[in-house]
């Protein structure tokens, strides 16, 4: 009886039981995270990107590398139909992202025409880092600056990480992305 009341209360307040379900078995551990979307803060499961090649990037609006937004958007536009997704995570860990989520969203859209998925401001380094960035740091080290890039294969496993000095159009990064896109989707 208590379970029925609890389920009814959850449904009444807009929570479906599936919102608390375990991620699907086909979702790799690196993608079993949920983040608020930057534009409207609606929760988004990263499991929706299972089977894709994923480039995770911590970003900032007031950094010497901020121009990389254009290169990231170009990369996304060029390869998204082949299975690449770029995921942007604004962070103030290096004191170069002081805006709120709406200001960041407006800046990215108006200045660089960013269309790739962006998520709410996150902590990407240290003990308070989001679980995704803690996981990536354990595999390859934490970001040392803004625009650090982690490349995940279609299976969700880390392929490589790239410092801020690696431009989105660098031959090494593009070659690694193309190699991963050439593999069959894991779905």
Q: How far apart are CA 24 and CA 108, in angstroms?
A: 32
CA torsion 75-79-81-86 (nearest 10°) is -50
What is the set of active-site residues? 63
Both structure tokens of 169: 């159009």
Identify whether the C-beta of residue 49 lies closer than 8 Å to the C-beta of residue 88.
no
Q: How far apart are CA 187 and CA 174, in angstroms?
A: 23
**Cα 177 to Cα 187: distance, rounded to the nearest angstrom:** 18
Q: What are phi and psi of 161, to 5 degrees?
A: -130, 155
């Amino acid at each position: 009886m208590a379970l029925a009341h609890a389920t009814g209360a959850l449904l009444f307040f807009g929570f479906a039981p599936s919102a608390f379900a375990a991620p699907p078995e086909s979702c790799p551990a690196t993608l079993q995270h949920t983040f608020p979307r930057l534009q409207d803060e609606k929760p988004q499961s990263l499991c929706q990107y299972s089977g894709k090649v994923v480039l995770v990037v911590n970003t900032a609006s007031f950094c010497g590398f901020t121009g990389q937004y254009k290169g990231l958007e170009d990369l996304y536009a060029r390869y998204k139909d082949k299975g690449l997704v770029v995921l942007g995570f604004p962070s103030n860990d290096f004191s170069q992202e002081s805006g709120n989520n709406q200001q960041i969203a407006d800046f990215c859209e108006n200045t660089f025409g960013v269309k790739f998925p962006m998520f709410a401001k996150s902590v990407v380094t240290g003990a308070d880092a989001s679980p995704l960035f803690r996981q990536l740091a354990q595999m390859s080290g934490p970001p040392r600056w803004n625009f650090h890039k982690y490349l995940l294969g279609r299976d969700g496993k880390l392929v490589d990480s790239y410092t801020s000095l690696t431009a989105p159009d660098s031959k090494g990064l593009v070659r690694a992305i193309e190699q991963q896109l050439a593999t069959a989707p894991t779905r």
